[in-house]
Amino acid sequence: MSGGAFMAVLRRDLLLAMRRKSEVLTAVFFFVVVAALFPLGIGPELNTLRLVAPGVLWVGALLSSMLALQRLFEADYRDGTLEQMALSPTPMPLLISAKLLAHWLVSGVPLVLLAPVLGLQFDLSADALMTLTLGLLLGTPVLSLVGGIGAALTLGVRGGGVLLSLLVLPLFIPVLVFGAGAVEAQASGLGAEAHLSILMAMLLPAAFFSPLACAAALRIALE
């Protein structure tokens, strides 16, 4: 019963995203453009680029996921879908987690797939590319989950977009530290397992608690 509702919301959100491709693609192209700007600003020296690559790609992923976050609940808030979700017999956190999963599939997965290609531009080794992709695979869901709380809190608020960045970016810092740190640890021969394990340790509680917090925040916004 509730599993069906979960799948229905997931399918609906994915379908909506497919119908409005430009919104998804904007965030992805933003990521590509930001990654291309850094070599132009820093200089084409490959040794330097290799050093800054993990940080640059992670910050780019962070910022581009911020762009996508603003639209996470907005359309549903305006047309009343969220109110129906709040009233439905299916637990709201479950429906919200379907929305968050759809959001990650649409905005997070493209970043994970693109990162190794962009990493090539920064002359990262195959090993480092592998770690970067794995780190993003574990880290980007955390961005969607934690960012969702911020998106729910700033729903329909004056200056929501800027406010959302101010609220959410500080909370992203641990993910950034360990995500970019994983690539550096791999490059320096320490191995990235510890960093990736910590990313996983952030993902699991976030996956459990974030839908609950999002639902609470949405109920506050819907009052």
Partner 1 sequence: MKSINWFHYAAPQNFYGLAGRMWPGFAVLATAFMLAGLWLGFAVAPSDFQQGEGYRIIFVHVPVSWMSMVVYLAMAFWSVLGLTFNTRLSGMMTRALAPTGALFAFLSLWTGALWGKPMWGTWWVWDARLTSELILFFLYLGYIALTSAIDDTRRSDRAGALIAIVGAINVPIIYFSVKWWNTLHQGASVSLTKGSSMAEVMLWGMLLMALAFWFYTVALVLYRVRTLILQRESHATWVHQLDEVKP
Nearer to partner 1, 100 or 112 (CB): 100
Nearer to partner 1, 24 or 221 (CB): 221
The type of residue at 212 is L
Nearer to partner 1, 31 or 65 (CB): 65
The crossing angle, in degrees rounded to 10, of helices 160-187 and 193-222 is: 170
How far apart, in whole angstroms, are the C-alpha atoms of residue 32 and residue 145? Answer: 23
Produce one character per residue of 61-70: b if its CB has 16 or more CB atoms within 10 Å, e if not.
bbbbbbbbbb
Subset of 152-171 contacting partner 1 (CB under 8 A): 153-154, 157-160, 163, 166-167, 169-171
Q: Which long-range contacts (CB under 8 A, 24 or more apart) does 152-156 make?
A: 152/72, 152/73, 152/213, 152/214, 152/217, 152/218, 152/221, 153/217, 153/220, 153/221, 155/73, 155/74, 155/77, 155/217, 155/218, 155/221, 156/77, 156/221
Q: Does residue 173 belong to the site contacting partner 1 (CB under 8 A)?
A: yes
Binding mask 52-91 for partner 1 (x = CB under 8 A): ----------------------------------------
Beta carbon of residue 169, minimum distance to partner 1 (angstroms, whole number): 8
The crossing angle, in degrees rounded to 10, of helices 92-103 and 126-153 is: 140
Both tokens of residue 5?
């509702």
Nearer to partner 1, 116 or 174 (CB): 174
Nearer to partner 1, 23 or 184 (CB): 184
Q: Which of 59, 174, 184, 207 binds partner 1 (CB under 8 A)?
A: 174
Nearer to partner 1, 116 or 160 (CB): 160
How far apart, in whole angstroms, are the C-alpha atoms of residue 108 and residue 91? Answer: 25
Q: Does residue 220 belong to the site contacting partner 1 (CB under 8 A)?
A: yes
Q: Does residue 223 belong to the site contacting partner 1 (CB under 8 A)?
A: yes
User: How many chain residues are in contact with partner 1, going by CB under 8 A?
Assistant: 22
Beta carbon of residue 186, minimum distance to partner 1 (angstroms, whole number): 18
Q: How many CB atoms lie within 10 A of CB 22?
A: 7
Per CB under 8 A, residues contacting partner 1 are 149-150, 153-154, 157-160, 163, 166-167, 169-171, 173-174, 213, 216-217, 220-221, 223
